[in-house]
A and B are shown apart, each in its own frame.
Chain A
Amino acid sequence: MSNTRAAGAPPQRTIDIVNASLKRRYAKERRFRLIGLSAVVLGLLFVALLFADIIGKGYTAFQQTYIQMPITFDAAVIDPEGTRNPEILKAANYAALIRQAQREVFPEVSDRRATRALTSMISVGAPAHLRDMVMANPDLIGTTQEVWLLADDDIDMLVKGHIDRALPESERRVKDQTVGWVDRLESEGRIEKRFNTIFFTHGTSREPELAGIAGALMGTFYTLTLTLLFSFPIGVGAALYLEEFAPKNRWTDLIEVNINNLAAVPSVIFGLLGLAVFIAIFGVPRSTPLVAALVLSLMTLPIIIIASRAALKSVPPSIREAALGVGASPLQTQFHHVLPLAMPGMLTGAIIGMAHALGETAPLLMIGMIAFIVDIPSGFTSPATVLPVQIFLWADSPERAFVERTSAAIIVLLAFLILMNLTAVLLRRRFERRW
């Protein structure tokens, strides 16, 4: 065979061409693989960065700075006539007691401006705390007690090291004088960081040190409860009909197309729907868990329907045939035999849908959930806000202390999300059946 080739030409065999290019091709292969790996690593890095950033910013918010002051519960200030009348006790000037105590601790401070700076070290919520102490125990009047008072947010930030002491004084929120006082109080053991219970028991506030997520958490609780009550039965019913009973016709095709499209409609659009239909036409009150739940139910419905249909599909036809065979009606077959077997899958879908609803913010902005509501909501129709919206509102606040609180609120939100998703995964593992 080889003599058919023209004489003189060097033998150019395919294997040589291949061998010559192999090195280059393998290098390319390694390069490509490396790019793929670095894409994955980059993605994982983003996850790590996001969580590290939020946790790093937020973990300090779970502690709060307190300042100890020797408060003299002066009868002349609180209750000059000695009546112990709760009305008088309630209206007394407790801020004066704090100023008095500060004069004792810092006897050298006399000029007005410095006194004002001194007063502003203690939170504006502190007098109310003293009032509650006296109301609970009127015997305190006339005694002197060492009381831990809530510090102002600027002092809190300073103690936690979020205010850079190296900055020139004019660019710093806390002046040199106050820094000196704080250092002195610290060396005297009069400053302490404690677990921040206010964050979990208070509603929001303009003062960062008094702001908490309890109101938002309750609002979220009411909203999600209603959302689940609306969307789960409707979602399961719709899935049951579409998967088991629906004839193949134009109407059911239309429903299918609609469900798939609704799952991809931007969430702001649902806010427009809520505003134009639920609030403007049906007169559902604004800013309430009820209207939020109506909007969120429509958004989670596609998720629940799709998950429930998958769960129904995974139940083998033999179950249905057996039930029908012993004389059950089609509905009895579904409700007595198929639904119980599909229930874990449907519940998983419901939890995932609720997790979506928990994190949703945009549509709620438009139905009035961004109102500034201090009170903790008490029902389905009282004004409320929800956790993600609270995060949005705090993120807009200029105070440094709110950055910390926002991050802490995000940590709480993420913790709930992780909990819900873990429950869904466990539920699936526990009840998953292979047929």
Chain B
Amino acid sequence: MHSSTLLIVLLGLMAIAYHFGRKRAISTAGGVARISTLHSLPAYYGLYAALWAGIPALLLMGLWTGFQNEILVAIVKSELPPTLLDGMSSGQIGLVVNDIKNLASGAIVSGAVTPEMQAAADRYIQLNQIARWAMWLAVLALAVGGMAYAWAKTTPTMRARNRVETIFMVILVVFSSIAILTTLGIVLSVLFESLRFFQSISPLDFFFGTLWSPQTALRADQVGASGAFGAVPLFTGTLMVSAIAMLVAVPIGLMSAIYLSEYAPRRVRSLAKPTLEVLAGVPTVVYGFFAALTVAPVIRDLGMAMGLNVASESALAAGLVMGIMIIPFVSSLSEDVINAVPQAMRDGSYALGATQSETIWRVIIPAALPGIVGGILLAVSRAIGETMIVVMAAGLAANLTANPLDSVTTVTVQIVTLLTGDQEFDSPKTMAAFALGLTLFVVTLTLNMIALQIVRKYREQYE
């Protein structure tokens, strides 16, 4: 009795409701011949009935599946013999509850199984079954009830179309608000965990500390037990990789944008532009593989041949490949702004005798500069937030270095490494990842806001 079965049954009920609602409307009107006495088309009465059957039942089902577990756990916990939980912290109680759940689902349990726990597990299974059946009953009853309500309300004078359309409008408004909910969700989840992190680690240490070693100790007397959360090496690492990427992407992207929009014949342009854009469609994990297994060894061998000591996971390799990834981003954004420069400005420059390159340097670039800068800022924000390339090709060691041949780590790499693998949810390690996420979010958001503002201002200028 899976809940997806219930969903399908509910959809079937809605179809039935549609059919009967439509029929009911026709019969109240007095047959097909007198259909014109209805306020709306019969289909709207059908839809009205279907919506009444479906929406309340769906809402109930959503709420039920959301809260069922919490309630069941609370019941089971309250029924546990009080001696079992005596003197336990909330974490230990959580562990016991987890064990009971595992016992119920037949998974491996952490400790020995006591009869009390077995009883609790049985009770949990039993409650689960009851709850599932109750949900089926309640949801189906609500659906049928809704159907009956719509049936009773159907009269030739009921404004079915208007009612259905109102419901549809509400649904559309809810859909369009999901974007806001997402942003809110991001901000709240990141902020909440970060605040908890900053309660145990001072923001000053976090933003200005130069030692990053988030290992937390298993035993209290272990060396380096406290863990150090100074994020400066991560920031410098991120900046270095992004800077290398921009050094690759900006000249190549900008020059190819200029060439493609000002010089290239139409045929070349129509072939080269989509091919360059392929680079933007390649998944980042592919770039990561390329960086780690092809570019990094080449760089290391080259460095060795020149007598340099190159780390096998160098910032240079990750930065170079990230630059390749960003080329189409820079080039298409700059091409847009270059194309937006009015032709009259070019013509004016040519009329004064300037060559094409002089026109580009002295007229087009200065005119397009704000837009180009905005595009580059967007590219920087993308480089800072890029994850897979650096996870696979840059290292994990948080070195505070200015040597691009050395291994560095970035904010995104640390977020991923801190959050993959098994660890409890509220250790400072995981919360540090959220603090890094907050920093990343704020920085990229600010960059985007500034960039979009610049681009918009610039567009207005020529429109």
Binding site for B on A (CB under 8 A): 18, 25-26, 28-29, 32-33, 35-40, 42-44, 46-47, 50, 53-54, 57, 233-234, 237-238, 240-242, 245-246, 252, 254-255, 258-262, 264-273, 275-277, 280, 282-283, 298, 301-302, 305, 329-331, 355, 358-362, 365-366, 370, 380, 388-389, 391-392, 395, 403, 406-407, 410, 413-414, 417, 421
Contact = CB atoms under 8 A, between A and B. Distances in A.
B324 A395 contact: no
B179 A262 contact: yes
B171 A237 contact: yes
A238 B179 contact: yes
B279 A46 contact: yes
A120 B419 CA distance: 38
B378 A264 contact: yes
B186 A359 contact: no
A43 B252 contact: yes
Interface residues of B, number: 90
B281 interface: yes
A269 B289 contact: no
Given A29-B357, A273-B185, A395-B293, A266 B385 contact: yes
Contact of B437 (A38, A269, A358): A269
Given A44-B276, A267-B385, A392-B288, 10 more contacts: A38-B255, A50-B286, A234-B178, A258-B179, A261-B449, A268-B385, A271-B415, A282-B66, A283-B69, A359-B281
Contact of A33 (B192, B259, B282): B259
Q: Which 7 A-B residue pairs are closest in the complex by CB-CB distance?
A: A266-B385, A359-B283, A36-B259, A276-B189, A39-B255, A237-B175, A362-B387
A268 B190 CA distance: 12
B175 A266 contact: no
Given A238-B172, A272-B434, A360-B283, A46 B182 contact: no
Given A43-B331, A355-B281, A26 B355 contact: yes
Nearest to A411: B286
A25 B286 contact: no
Nearest to B294: A53
A407 B173 CA distance: 45
Interface string B347-390: 00000010111101000000000000000001001101111100
B114 interface: no
A362 B186 contact: no
Most buried by A among B175, B179, B445: B179
B433 A43 contact: no
A392 B327 contact: no
B357 to A, nearest CB: 4
B360 A46 contact: no
Given A25-B358, A47-B276, A273-B186, A254 B180 contact: yes
B263 interface: yes
B113 interface: no
A366 B420 CA distance: 6
9 contacts: A234-B178, A240-B172, A241-B173, A242-B176, A265-B444, A268-B387, A271-B415, A272-B189, A272-B190
B189 A331 contact: no
Contacts of A301: 178-179, 182
Contact of A50 (B183, B272, B276, B290): B290
Contacts of B259: 33, 36-37, 39-40
B441 interface: yes
B236 interface: no
B166 to A, nearest CB: 9
B179 A305 contact: yes
B172 A245 contact: yes
B258 interface: yes
Nearest to B353: A18
Given A33-B357, A282-B66, A265 B445 contact: yes
B333 to A, nearest CB: 12
Contacts of A246: 176
Given A276-B193, A277-B189, A35 B412 contact: no
Contact of A241 (B175, B386, B425): B175
Interface in B283-322: 283-290, 292-294
B1 to A, nearest CB: 14
Most buried by A among B193, B282, B324: B282
Nearest to B358: A25
Nearest to B161: A329
A28 B355 CA distance: 9
A99 to B, nearest CB: 35
B127 interface: no
Interface in B153-191: 161, 165, 168-169, 171-173, 175-180, 182-183, 185-186, 189-190
Nearest to A35: B255
Interface in B384-428: 384-388, 391-392, 412, 415-416, 419-420, 425
Nearest to B255: A39
Contacts of A280: 425
A273 B190 CA distance: 7
B220 interface: no
Nearest to B444: A266
A66 to B, nearest CB: 27
Given A33-B263, A266-B440, A331-B165, A362 B284 contact: yes
Contacts of A258: 179-180, 182-183
Nearest to B276: A43
B172 A241 contact: yes
Contacts of B412: 266, 268, 362
A40 B190 contact: no
Contact of B179 (A302, A355, A417): A302
Most buried by A among B289, B327, B385: B289
Most buried by B among A259, A265, A282: A265
B452 interface: yes
Contacts of A46: 279, 324, 327
B284 A269 contact: no
